[in-house]
Amino acid sequence: MDIERFVETRKRLGLAQSELCDGICTQATLSRFENNGQVPNLKILIQLCNRLNLPLGELFPKVGVKNSEAVEKMNQIEFWLITSEFELARQLLTTIDQKALEEDSILDLRYHYLNGFLEIYAESPTMDILFIFDQIITAKHNEDSEIFHLLAYTGIGMVYMREGDQDKAEFYFQKVLERIYEYPNRTIEDTWRVLHILFQTAVFYSEIDEIEASDVLCHYAINICSDNHVTYYLARAAIQLAKNAIKQAAPVHEILELIHDARAYSKINRNKVALAELKKMEESVKQGEK
């Protein structure tokens, strides 16, 4: 509650405490409110504000208003990150003033997480990306920031994978796997982020030809989608399963079945990027069948 606003208004009107509270409450009650933050009952507070011609609502904090526009933008960016619309997401991120988020540690971490992954997809310099994720890792670690630390480890693993340093990449992906299975999904955004981590880790293990591990992670992601009624990562997990099947030279009908499942999920989510990728995959598989 903005008690300072209350006191400033009383003093600006030239009212002593005794004058303001006359006929409403004791001076001790008003003093405890102004000096100790002990809020009187609502009826008294309304009468005091009415005498000051101060709307009671102006004393209450404006929860979420300051950064509401940034939150809405980040929600859209995170959705585009899921649906692989990376350039759209990157353009929208440039419209957010990161400096204005620094007072809200969680929003600041979210900004760096989104920025880091989008810079990966933009193939930005390695050191620039590592610096972004380092700002997450070096931030104060608590329950609310845990998921962003895991995302930062995932991003760093992706960078080292891109650079061909398998050992360093596996070090970071392993740090994620040690904790991700026990992470409590409290919000739908948490679920998206856990799925993002599982998917990228599955991609890594596929790249190093640990197909069984990759398949396990993809199936786990699909189970999370099913249990939480989330469809956005179904397509990406199914696509990765199809790629794994291709790498293992699985029977064509099994590969096509996985492609068809992934296409169905992609249509539900209107994921044009995934649909285009699946079309090329299917054509390639059918050509190899001839």
pLDDT for position 290: 47
How far is the C-alpha of 218 from the C-alpha of 212, rounded, in Å?
10
Is residue 110 scored above 50 in pLDDT?
yes
- Tell me the backbone φ, ψ of residue 25, rounded to 5 degrees: -160, 175
**What does the angle CA 173 – CA 161 – CA 110 come to, to the nearest 5 degrees?**
60
Band of residue 165 on the pLDDT scale cut at 50, 70, 90: very high
Give percent of the chain with pLDDT exceeding 90.
49
**Residues in CB range of 286: below 8 A, 6 or more apart:** 252, 256
Query: Taking residues 259-263, what's their average pLDDT?
Result: 90
Query: Taking residues 104-131, what's their average pLDDT?
Result: 94
Query: Taking residues 124-131, what's their average pLDDT?
Result: 96
pLDDT for position 208: 93
pLDDT for position 273: 81
Per residue in 68-92, pLDDT (tens digit) is 788 888 989 988 887 788 999 999 9
pLDDT for position 122: 94
How far is the C-alpha of 229 from the C-alpha of 241, rounded, in Å?
20
Tell me the domains of the chain and their CATH numbers: 3-59 (1.10.260.40), 67-183 (1.25.40.10), 192-290 (1.25.40.10)
Per residue in 31-50, pLDDT (tens digit) is 999 998 888 887 898 899 89
How far is the C-alpha of 197 from the C-alpha of 177, rounded, in Å?
9
Band of residue 64 on the pLDDT scale cut at 50, 70, 90: very low
Per residue in 181-225, pLDDT (tens digit) is 888 777 778 888 999 999 999 999 999 999 999 999 999 998 888
How far is the C-alpha of 97 from the C-alpha of 111, rounded, in Å?
10
Comparing CA positions, the residue from 279, 220, 268 lying closest to residue 83 is: 268
How far is the C-alpha of 175 from the C-alpha of 265, rounded, in Å?
30
Is residue 131 scored above 80 in pLDDT?
yes
Maximum distance among all Cα pairs of the chain, rounded to whole angstroms: 95
pLDDT for position 144: 81
Q: Cβ(217)–Cβ(238) under 8 Å?
A: no
What does pLDDT average to over the chain?
Answer: 88
Is residue 61 scored above 80 in pLDDT?
no
Band of residue 66 on the pLDDT scale cut at 50, 70, 90: low
pLDDT for position 65: 43
Q: Cβ(269)–Cβ(79) under 8 Å?
A: no
Residue with the bigger pLDDT between 35 and 231: it is 35
Given CA atoms 138, 148, 145, 167 in this order, what sign does their dihedral have?
negative
pLDDT for position 72: 87
pLDDT for position 67: 62
